[in-house]
Each structure stands twice: as structure tokens, then as C-alpha cells.
Amino acid sequence: PGTALRETSCSNMRSFIIIAVCLIGAAQAFFGFDPEACTTLPELPTPRTINASSPQVFDSPGFNYSDPEGSIYPANTQCEWQIFMDDPGQTELMLSFFNFSLEFATDCRTDRVDVYDGTDDTGTLLTTLCGNLVDVVPEPIITLSRNLFVRFVSDDNGIERIGFLARVGYPIQDTACDGAGPQVFTSPGGLFLTKDYPVNYEDNMLCEYLFQAPAGQRVEIGFNDFDLEDCCSCDFLLVFNGNSQASPVSGSFYGNDRPARMISSGNELYMRFSSDFSVTFQGFFGFYRFV
């Protein structure tokens, strides 16, 4: 089976048999740009509430999921998010950043992100973040209170950067690469990633991802970052239009060209990533949702 998979990867030569492509505007977030959290100063925003019992993503205004390097947030802006979990079975709320690049200043007095433990800015200030942290993203923040308040502020000095992309929810459960079969995704939306992303994946890995939407729905996936060895028979990702590698192959991907967004024809989509014995890269992370 391993040899057959590698032959399939090379024969595809990065070709992509389109199941469907969701044509979303380049500046629109994968889950929809949500301007209600942000206002132009001096007007203050009403915080947008996020129920993170099912993992959610949010971003700075202007963040471009299709081309993060081409993003730029507006000046003189303030955004606020009030994040909570109401599922009594979940005891930890985690905030993770996957892109982060703001203007740097001593004490972050210009553009910044403030994170509070609680429902508003009267809670304990956990951290204030600024600067260019694209290559070394901030450590995840975990609270047992199941409440976080996040504020983004930019000034009007004309220096703007990419911004940020964040995920909130229960701690990331990464079982795709543990050899026990595919990690199964049944929540209506969330993220998927290679083991330990953004740290380089390991040699000789096999990771499996199975997305299962309710009957009558389909699975949409999109990649925010994609960085594998540029060798079609070495490290590669196969996407199948179904629930296993016996399903039709929808695409084979390697190198650092992000795959286009895809929608399955049915309610299941299966992915299989493998790496060989040498040379590793950052890997990939992306988002899915049921449509």
C-alpha cells in the first residue's frame, strides 16, 4: 500500500481533481469576516461573544486567510471578544495563535493584544502581546475559569502589520499521527494540523484525518499554511472523496503551494499525510466546516 500511494502521488504531480471550490473573496475569512467585534476609535466596540464549547477561530480585521502575508489590519481600531465555554464537561479553555504580527513598541504601547482571565477587562491580565511573532508564535494560554476576554488595539501612527489568527476551545486533541487509525472530526467546524505544528513534523510519520458531517451535509476544508518537502514521493498529503483511501483520490499535494479550498461530494472526507526518512518541514494547518 505504501508503494501504491507514492506512485499515485507522483502520477498526480500536484494535479487536483476538483470536487468543488468555494469561491470566497480573498479578504474574507474562511468562517466569514466578522466586523461586529471592531470599531474605529474613539468609538468603543460591543464585545462579540464566542461560545468555545465547540472550537472557534477569530482574527484581526483585514486578516486574509488565502494570503496571510498579504494581510494588513486597519489603523486606529479596537476589537473585543468575550469568550466562554458553557459545556460542564469541559474544564479548560485554551487560546492558541497560529499567525501573529503586530507593530512592536516597548511595553506594547502602540498596537497590541491584551488577554484577560474573566468576562471583561476587570479580570486578571494574563498577557499583553505585540511585535512580529510569525516564526515564534505565542505559547497557548489555558484557563480553568472557562472565560477569556481578548482586546486588540491599533494606533494611528501609520504602522500596521499582518495581524493575527487565533483559535479558542478545549485543548487541541491531536491523535491523527498516533497510529491508532484516523482522528475523527464530528464537530461542525474546527482545525486540523500536522503533529506539533508549527514545529517541524517528524520523519517516518503517518497521519490520518477523517471528517464526518451529518447526513445531507458536506465537508469543506481550507489550508492556511502548507509547507512540505518539495518531492512528490517523499512527504505528501493525499485527499480522498470519501471515508478511506479506497475512496476516489481528490488530490495529491507536496511542496509549499497551498491547496485550494475543497468541498466533498458526500458527507465524508479523508486525508492521509506521510513523511519519509529524511528532511522535514513545518507541515500544515487548516480549517474545516460542514456545509
What is the model's pLDDT at position 15?
32
Rounded average pLDDT over 3-25: 32
Residue 68's pLDDT band, with cuts at 50, 70 and 90, is low
Phi-psi region at 88: left, alpha or beta (left = phi > 0; alpha = psi -120 to 50)? alpha
Lowest mean pLDDT among 192-206, 212-226, 236-250, 258-272: 192-206
Q: Quick check: 135 pLDDT over 70? A: no
What is the model's pLDDT at position 35?
67
3-state DSSP call for residue 262?
A: strand
Mean pLDDT computed over every residue of the chain? 82
What ranges make up the beta strands (E) of the chain?
A: 38-40, 48-51, 56-59, 77-84, 93-101, 112-117, 124-129, 141-143, 147-154, 163-169, 183-185, 189-193, 206-212, 219-227, 236-240, 249-253, 262-263, 268-274, 283-290
Higher-confidence position of 209 and 55: 209
List the beta bridge partners of residue 262. 221
Lowest mean pLDDT among 12-26, 50-64, 133-147, 169-183: 12-26
What is the model's pLDDT at position 36?
76
What is the model's pLDDT at position 85?
93
Contact yes or no for 90/99 (Cβ under 8 A): no
- The percentage of the chain sitting over the pLDDT mark of 90, rounded to a whole number, equals 51
Rounded average pLDDT over 260-289: 93
Q: Quick check: 6 pLDDT over 80? A: no
Spatial distance between the Cα atoms of 257 and 280, rounded to a whole number of angstroms: 16
Rounded average pLDDT over 249-264: 93
- The percentage of the chain sitting over the pLDDT mark of 70, rounded to a whole number, equals 84
C-alpha grid cell for residue 96?
A: 492558541
pTM above threshold 0.85 = no
Q: What are phi and psi of 147, to 5 degrees?
A: -140, 135
